[in-house]
Structure 1
Amino acid sequence: MNRFFVNPMTTLEYDWWWGKRVNENVPSSSQENTRSIEEHLLVIPSELEIVKQDFEKKSSELGKRIE
């Protein structure tokens, strides 16, 4: 069994500072920046894919006009 002994030279201010220091290193979750799993997994199309989609859309519109 491990025992933790407090150094008799520590002060209350040191204990407060140490506890604050340790707790500040723990990341806290912020509800403002949370995203759903779907948003995290969402694939953002590249510029080339966007241009390709625009080209296909315009091509189909022109094909309909020709018919």
Structure 2
Amino acid sequence: MEEKKINLRLDIDVQNLKTEKLRKGKNKAEEELDSLKTDYKKLRLSIRTAGLGKTSKQW
């Protein structure tokens, strides 16, 4: 009985570690996505400012 409790406790600890690792990975992915969105907005603004987004008819 005591051995089962220890094994269950270990299983819970392992699951908690896996969950925490996934949570950290998700947070990192969300931060990277936000960074990419910011970079994209800056790039679009630069393209508009430089006039590079024009078609040949607009030139």
Q: Give the TM-score normalised by the residue count of structure 1.
A: 0.33
Bigger Rg, which one: 1
Using the size of structure 2 for normalisation, the TM-score is 0.35
